[in-house]
Structure 1
Amino acid sequence: MSKMKEKGEITVRFSPQELRSLRKTARALGYSSVEEYVRSLAISVLPESYQTSARNNLSLEPIYRTNLGSVYHADALDVLATLESNSVDLIMTSPPFALLKKKDYGNADANEYVRWFAPFAREFKRILKPTGSLVIDIGGSWQKGLPVKTIYQYELLVHLVKEMGFYLAQEFFWWNPARLATPAEWVTIRRIRVKDAVNTIWWLAKTPYPKASNKRVLQPYSKSQLKLFEKGYNAGPRPSGHKISSDAFRRNNGGAIPPNLLALANTESNTAYQRYCKENNLPQHPARFPVLIPAFFIQMLTDSLDLVLDPFAGSLTTGEAAERLGRRWICIEKERVYIEGGIGRFEHESARLNRNFPTGDSYNVAPPVLKPELDNEPLPEDGGQRRTRNVETRTS
């Protein structure tokens, strides 16, 4: 191997065997190129002062600011490289999902997703505080032309835990009761699957003990629990082996501890953001999560003036939640048109006048309903592989 040094750059020549080995290693570690891998190796062996200098050479400036937050129109990796190690309290994000249909905002293929995400994960690990959290909202994906799911979001979780050294603090599930019955081919046409209405949300951390308190996100007590406060609980042993005292469950703690199922319909239709987009002829981001999703985790996992980061910010929903809750925040987004619309979350007159969060509706989850009278209609022997004439007629 020979090297030629010039001002501002280094040219490195590898033998064919060395280059093949480097490419194999770079791909396995999730780097997009040999160059990216070699540069990362070079920076990692420099003293910390030189590493900081190398990162700060990227002179990126925010294109919008509030009293608490900054918005960057840039590639997330470029901005992440400028942030100090152990400086962020919460990374709250919803990266592009690995969907079959490619979106304007960009989304990686399921088979390449972990490799695409790996460079971001390395930066997340570096900039996150030991007490901080990484929260990733990530929806599922279907295999092309088949009524079966990919497992890319679980492969990502395994990579983050097994390879990157994150801890899975807890998994959450966001149930959207208003989601359409999709995929239509399998759900409403062939009727061989049920509505896909849940996203997984991974809560990860650098240590087993990130700072958190469920006291900050307590839910109203149910009517049955309020009655227990008045009448008490039937004391005695339970089939599980637990012994319940007569004083159990009679202490009012100000609310019920929420489950890890977040029931929240994504049905916003007249928010400040949407009005701002309409008034300024701007496209609305097609894959927004409700502001109460990031607000829940920001409230539970951060303190006032802590730093919240969203590297795939879309329409700046995380920034809005952080601003309302009094946290410092950084949002990064590559598509400028979505930033221009997202600014309406802070600049629209109605947003400035009303800083309260929307009130979510309560939902009852129906228990399984059985229809034994339909047993006389046999299940398709081929599992619904062929579209039958009856199906086509029934759904036309």
Structure 2
Amino acid sequence: MKQEDTNPQNKINFTAYYSKDYGNVYLGNTLELIKFIPDDSVNLILTSPPFALTRKKEYGNESAEKYIEWFLPFAREFKRVLAPDGSFVLDLGGAYLPGFPVRSIYQYELLVTLCKEVGFYLAQEFYHYNPSRLPTPAEWVTVRRIRVKDSVNVVWWLSKTPHPKANNRKVLKPYSKSMKQLLKRGYKAKLRPSGHDISNKFQKDNQGAIPPNLLELANTESNSAYLRRCKQEGVKPHPARFPSAFAEFFIKFVTDEGDVVLDPFSGSNTTGFVAETLKRRWTSFEINEDYILGSRYRFEDI
């Protein structure tokens, strides 16, 4: 898809930097590019924006003090373009207050603002657990040893109305060995000591277990073809990439084939790559051209 702005007062040329069968990548500022997206037209906004970290990162990030003010213009546009039954999934890392071993609460302040001021609903909170994350911040974890390793990002699943489209049958997990044995030998209905009444419906084979809202997803990007190709071509890769399994979970959970997925801070374009493999129409915005150049290598094996 290649479109040009017909408004002479707008100098932005909405032309794809590169295109694939199901989607397009655009280079530029999201607040300018998103103006070309019609109201109520996106089924899923899935993104991990720059976090509010104590130290500045090369991909650009705001301080915790300024983060909500910075994010609000984006949030209002996200609500405009989101379909009535669409979902907005926001992956946010935590931060410590500068110079102190106590946490910033910017994520929670942002959540309240998104719900109270912008008008989103909190469908459910998730926790993105990466067991292989390095022990940071080093000052408090490995030097003074007064804190433990931070291995979880909070993920806000937000919606425009109280009833976003979703189906957990699409993201069932394989049954555990004990559950398989239980299904095989049967289960006698009884009242547990906790007071839960476990009926005989418990032994029904649903072809998998309903996943929890703790997503344990190790990031294996360090061995990925994307990084190898970036190194071969001398292209700088994005330094903070979420795993493909993270995007896959939410795209399967809340969208169907042919639905529209938007990542407004796409980085190395993991979201677009997964959406392409799952036959969703997708759009990705990225302001750093080096990251877009490297993101092309994700699609070489499709």
Q: What is the aligned partner in structure 2 of residue 4 from structure 1?
A: none
Are 2:296 and 1:343 equivalent residues in the alignment?
Answer: yes
1:261 alignment partner in structure 2? 214
Find the aligned partners of 1:299 and 1:54 in 2 and give their Cα distance: 40
Distance 2:159 2:178 in 1: 36
Tell me, yes or no, if structure 1 residue 133 matches structure 2 residue 90.
no
Amino acid at match of 1:229: L
Q: Give the alignment partner of residue 325 of structure 1, picking from 275, 278, 287.
A: 278
Within 5 Å, give how 1:61-100 maps onto structure 2: 61-100=15-54
2:237 pairs with 1:284 = yes
* Structure 1 CA distance for aligned equivalents of residues 190 and 58 of structure 2: 60
* Superposed displacement of residue 241, structure 1: 2.6
Residues matched between the structures, number: 297
- Of the candidates 41, 61, 72, which is equivalent to residue 107 of structure 1? 61
Say yes or no: does 1:231 pair with 2:196.
no
Paired residue secondary structure (1:339) = helix
Structure 1 or 2, whichever has the larger Rg, is: 1
Match of 2:258 in 1: 305
Equivalent residues of 1:55, 1:81 under 8 A apart: no
Distance, in Å, in 1 between the alignment partners of 2:224 and 2:140 is 33
What is the CA-CA distance between 1:55 and the residue it aligns to? 9.3
- Aligned positions of 1:1-396 closer than 5 A: 58-245=12-199, 247-346=200-299, 348=300, 351-352=301-302
For structure 1, the 5+ residue unaligned runs are 1-51, 353-396
> Which whole-Å CA distance do the structure 2 matches of 1:234 and 1:307 have between them?
45
- Greater relative contact order: 1 or 2 (C-alpha under 8 angstroms, separation 6 or more)? 2
Q: AA paired with 1:103?
A: K
Q: Report the CA distance shift for 1:208/1:230 in structure 2 as closer, same or farther (over 3 A).
A: same
> C-alpha distance in 2, partners of 1:203/1:54?
37
> Aligned with 2:54: secondary structure?
coil
State the 1:54 CA deviation: 8.7
Which SS does the other structure have where 1:81 is aligned?
helix
**Contact 2:264 / 2:284 at 8 angstroms: preserved in 1?**
yes
The one-character-per-residue Cα deviations of 1:91-113 (angstroms, maximum 9, x if unpaired) are: 00000000111111110110010
Q: Over residues 144-174 of structure 1, what are the superposed CA-to-partner deviations in whole Å (9 max), with x where a residue is unaligned?
A: 1110010111111000011111000000001
| 2-structure distance, mates of 1:234, 1:54 | 72
Q: Percent identity?
A: 57
The offset of 1:56, in angstroms, is 7.3
**Corresponding position of 2:3:** none
CA distance in 1, matches of 2:185, 2:213: 28
